[in-house]
Amino acid sequence: MSALAIKDLGKSFGGLRVTAGVTLALEAGERRLIIGPNGAGKTTLFNLITGELKPDDGAIALFGRDITALPTRARPHLGLARTYQIITLFAQETLLHNVTLSLLGLSPLRWSPFRRLDRQAVLIERARAALASVGLEALAGRPLAQTSYGERRRVEIAMALVQQPKVLLLDEPFAGLSVDERKDVRRLLASIPRDVTMLMIEHDMDVALELADRITLMHFGQIVVEGSRAEVVAHPRTREVYFGS
């Protein structure tokens, strides 16, 4: 049984076909990299998987369960988590508060303006552990606005990991990072245990290829090449997509 199985997934915005017949299967523990030029449909595919967009056709299954029509809020309960290409965190709140908030979606407590989050000892403990796992425990009490861009990327990953996902979607986790920050995030992602299946979009090929077991190349909303690193890099369609020849 595949950890994540997508079959004939399609989505259009008006007359623009953004994904067309996308079929993809990830085995449990796999690290899959999705590459492709801007406009290839990569982030749209993520939005379809997480339920932020509704597909026009096709199906999505998580460990054999059809989640195509499942509400977005229900999917994390089945083990699906993601990060975003554009970081959208609470800049004035502390790192600890941001990570604790990410736990509320899986907690029966939910968020309430009348309940003090800092008194939820179990959630706070889990959030601290998540920050420790990404090397940020010492900064737990610092406002997010006072951290570097690379540290914010790691906070976002901590927010996803604290939900104990079985399948983790990473949308350009190296975007905007310095050389040293890329090294930190690369080490972090490499340390995630294999009981977490990872699907990653990334433009930084040198860094991302080191993490991938298999690579999928998308172009104009379709999968055009799929295989190992060597197979995809050597494929003539890859050269055509990226270099026009």
Q: Is 0.85 surpassed by the pTM of this model?
A: yes
Are 9 and 65 in the same domain?
A: yes
Residue 192 CB: number of other CB atoms within 10 A?
Answer: 18
Mean pLDDT along residues 165-189: 91
pLDDT at 109: 56
What secondary structure letter does DSSP report for 94? B
Q: Yes or no: say if 217 and 189 are a contact pair by the CB < 8 Å rule.
A: no
Are 127 and 152 in the same domain?
A: yes
Domain presence at residue 8 = yes
Mean pLDDT of all residues in the chain?
90
Are 24 and 96 in the same domain?
A: no
- Domain stops at, among 137, 163, 189: 163
β-strands 167-171, 80-82: how paired?
parallel
Q: Look at residue 236 and tell me whether its pLDDT is greater than 80.
A: yes
pLDDT at 117: 63
Are 108 and 130 in the same domain?
A: yes
* 185-211 confidence digits (pLDDT tens): 899 999 999 999 999 998 777 777 788
Are 154 and 185 in the same domain?
A: no
Q: Look at residue 115 and tell me whether its pLDDT is greater than 70.
A: no
* 35-55 confidence digits (pLDDT tens): 999 889 999 999 999 999 999
Domain presence at residue 65 = yes
- Can you give the CATH number for the domain in which 35 is found? 3.40.50.300
Question: Which 3 state secondary structure label does DSSP give 242?
Answer: helix
Q: Yes or no: say if 33 and 202 are a contact pair by the CB < 8 Å rule.
A: yes
Q: Out of 15-19, 108-112, 208-212, which region has the weakest mean confidence (pLDDT)?
A: 108-112
Q: How confident is the model at residue 1 (pLDDT cuts 50, 70, 90)?
A: confident
Q: How wide is the angle at C-alpha 217 spanned by C-alphas 212 and 220, nearest 5°?
A: 150
Are 71 and 172 in the same domain?
A: yes
Q: Look at residue 114 and tell me whether its pLDDT is greater than 50.
A: no
β-strands 167-171, 16-26: how paired?
unpaired
Domain presence at residue 86 = no
Are 187 and 172 in the same domain?
A: yes
Are 73 and 126 in the same domain?
A: no
Token readout for 132 is 């420790």
Question: Which 3 state secondary structure label does DSSP give 18?
Answer: strand
Q: Look at residue 113 and tell me whether its pLDDT is greater than 60.
A: no
- Domain stops at, among 127, 144, 163: 163
Are 144 and 170 in the same domain?
A: no
Mean pLDDT along residues 27-33: 96
Q: Yes or no: say if 194 and 29 are a contact pair by the CB < 8 Å rule.
A: yes
Q: Out of 2-11, 64-73, 218-227, 234-243, which region has the weakest mean confidence (pLDDT)?
A: 234-243
Q: Look at residue 5 and tell me whether its pLDDT is greater than 90.
A: yes
**Closest by Cα among 193, 192, 194 to 29:** 194
Mean pLDDT along residues 127-131: 93
Q: Yes or no: say if 211 and 35 are a contact pair by the CB < 8 Å rule.
A: no
Total of domains in the chain: 2
Q: How far apart are CA 173 and CA 112, in angstroms?
A: 31
Are 152 and 179 in the same domain?
A: no
Domain presence at residue 183 = yes
Domain presence at residue 239 = yes
Are 150 and 107 in the same domain?
A: yes
For the CA atoms of 131, 180, 43, 71, what is the dihedral angle to 10 degrees?
0
pLDDT at 21: 95
Residue 190 CB: number of other CB atoms within 10 A?
Answer: 10
Q: How confident is the model at residue 176 (pLDDT cuts 50, 70, 90)?
A: confident
Q: Look at residue 88 and tell me whether its pLDDT is greater than 70.
A: yes
pLDDT at 245: 62
The residue with greater pLDDT, 88 or 66, is: 66
Domain presence at residue 85 = no
For the CA atoms of 208, 5, 191, 98, what is the dihedral angle to 10 degrees?
90
Q: How far apart are CA 40 and CA 19, in angstroms?
A: 8
- Domain stops at, among 134, 163, 192: 163
Q: How far apart are CA 111 and CA 123, in angstroms?
A: 12
Q: Look at residue 177 and tell me whether its pLDDT is greater than 90.
A: no
Q: Which domain holds residue 116?
A: 91-163
Cα 124 to Cα 7, 20, 79, 150, 211: the distances in Å are 39, 43, 21, 23, 31
Domain presence at residue 84 = no
Domain presence at residue 31 = yes
Are 68 and 103 in the same domain?
A: no
Instruction: Report percent pLDDT > 90 for the chain.
Output: 67
